[in-house]
Structure 1
């Protein structure tokens, strides 16, 4: 077989395959039109029956709805009438409520006025009660003071009697002392401020500054010490022969049980220490 023969054989094979493919495609798309018509006719009849049933149901439903609409319109009319009645009733009730509110306001005002009067009366009652209590307390206090005054008067009478007796005794004592002072050569009428009492004490502290020596002593105004008085300073030992006179100090100021004095340099005889003795007189 030559080349041309081979080409024709190949073309025939290819064409066979092509026609076979076309035949299969036509077969796959082939439809039985009679069977399809019968199916569509059955479906049409079914839909027509359903339409008739639905139309009949719709007519029945429309009649029912018309009846319900009439009944609803009748109900609406009845409800509208009831609404008007309720509105009128509501207005009457509102009027009654307003009247009750006014009555409530009036009652509240009356209650407030009554409460104010009650509080005022309560306050007046409290004031009266306090006044009564205060009057009773004042009466009790007056009675107590009267009793105390009576007791004090009695005590004063006793004290007066005792004082009169004491004055008599003191007068006699003063007369006796005047006699003794006159006998000792003292003037009984000399002012007490000029009299230096015979008292003694100790040096409690010493302060030295700029050549001056200040001492604090344990006798003061309660003992009759006054500024400008002088005190003698000395040191006592167990052996009287060893006692030593140290000097003199002038009182500058005093307290009840203390006095402050300055050492007189021209009369100083030795070093003064805390614990040394002081006295207004040595004999």
Structure 2
């Protein structure tokens, strides 16, 4: 055998070994591929099952989330409505607070005024107490004077009683004298024709009557208790406005404390008026 043949045989042997190795590798790769494919199929089935389970779980979670979202939405709407109501209530409360503050300010002002008035009353009460104390002291001091005045009043009462008794006795005597005058034919109220002048008497004209047929008549505030008699003449004057002579009257009726007279002379420039003065002597 030649060298070329040996080389060729060696080459063929080497190629055979190479092909054998390649065949073994291909077989091994094909076997591993199938095994890996089965493994991958098993893993795929497992993953698909897990995916379905996960999908169902996710769908359930989505349903729960949607339910929770609906619940949260309802709660949000309720809270929004509550917030709106609270805002309205807040506005009402703010209005009431403003009204309350205004009323409080008014009450505070009224309280301050009341306190000032109370202080004024307290001062007045203290002043009243002081005045009461002063009056009490004066009352105590005047008790002696009151006792003295009481004694004096008692003495005057006794004197008045005695004077009343004397006056009654004098009236009885006057009545007796008038009876005696009637017995001798003399009227008790007749004018005295003697020479005794009228006493010094002053009075006022209380009424004026100009409608009588005998002329002007006047009523005066003095009478027989002042010593006047029928026929006495009195001057009429007006003391106000610098003084003015009015005229003269003659008494025609004389009562105890009043009299009536006729106007017998008159100042042409004057008119008799109620309130004018009458005098027996100017």
- TM-score per shorter chain, which class? 0.3 to 0.5
What TM-score comes out, normalization by structure 1 length? 0.33
